[in-house]
Structure 1
Amino acid sequence: MDIFSNCPGFCPSCGSILPELQVKGNVICYNCKKEFQPDVYSGEKSEFTIHFNTYDPSKVFNRTKRESESDADGPVVERKCPKCNHDKMSYATLQLRSADEGQTVFFTCLKCKFKESENS
């Protein structure tokens, strides 16, 4: 009895993920060892398109003073710069430590470009 027949790429008998479809031959499920025709993958897309953000080096390496929030490299928060006391900083986050620990937040002053980090 095929209870998973509506899920392309999964075994119709046991629901396990099927191995990658080869150029020739049938597909054999690793779990239940049943053999299926290649049409078990019907409905599954074989091509994917990955869209990347555009890269503008002038924004990354811009060393001029920033006069507005629209020039920030990321979201802007109200945070006082410890160097110049300006009240707005942009920030970016990265997961630098293990997955069960918090992320690291990098702040950049919009006025003097002072950088600081905070482990959250």
Structure 2
Amino acid sequence: MEVFNNCPGFCPSCGSILPPLQVKGNVICYNCKEELLPEVYSGEKSEFTIQFNTYDPSKVFNRAKRESESSEADGPVVERKCPKCGNDKMSYATLQLRSADEGQTVFFTCLKCKYKESENS
């Protein structure tokens, strides 16, 4: 007896999410233990493709070289003295690394020597 609308990937008897479709055999619902034919997944694709990015170390090296040669900022610039070289301009970026009821973490980067430091605000 079918109680629920037959949506691909859900048990038509109890409405629970079905386990992933296997290559061979029937599907058994985790909840009601009913054995179902693979057609219960009609409309779903069971095959997928994983594509990996290629890694080219020369591109990473060239990018790092370009960044060290230029004094361009990676974000907004603020007047802040670098503790390493004394330069008075640093770029910054912020991230919420701690819980939502605490302040954000600010990451500063010196525009001259690329020294990095962080501050919890």
Change (3 A) 1:12 1:107: farther
Partner SS for 2:39? helix
Change (3 A) 1:35 1:78: same
TM-score by length of 2: 0.64
Identity %: 50
CA–CA distance in structure 2, aligned partners of residues 93 and 118 of structure 1: 11
Q: Which runs of no fewer than 5 residues in structure 2 stay unpaired?
A: none
CA–CA distance in structure 2, aligned partners of residues 53 and 107 of structure 1: 30
Q: 1:85 aligns with which of 53, 77, 88?
A: 88
Code of the residue aligned with 1:114 in structure 2: it is: Y
Change (3 A) 1:103 1:65: same
Which residue in the other structure is 2:113 paired with? 112
Contact 1:9–1:18 (Cα < 8 Å) also in 2: yes
Change (3 A) 1:102 1:20: farther
1:66 aligns with 2:67: no
Deviates more, 1:20-29 or 1:41-50: 41-50
CA–CA distance in structure 1, aligned partners of residues 55 and 95 of structure 2: 19
User: Displacement of 1:103 after TM fit?
Assistant: 6.2
User: Displacement of 1:34 after TM fit?
Assistant: 1.4
Deviates more, 1:25-34 or 1:103-112: 103-112
What is the 5 A alignment of 1:21-36? 21-36=21-36
User: Displacement of 1:37 after TM fit?
Assistant: 0.8
TM-score by length of 1: 0.64
Contact 1:92–1:106 (Cα < 8 Å) also in 2: yes
For the aligned residues, what is the CA RMSD? 3.4
User: Displacement of 1:15 after TM fit?
Assistant: 2.4
Q: Which runs of no fewer than 5 residues in structure 1 stay unpaired?
A: none
Partner SS for 1:19? coil
| Higher helix content, 1 or 2 | 2
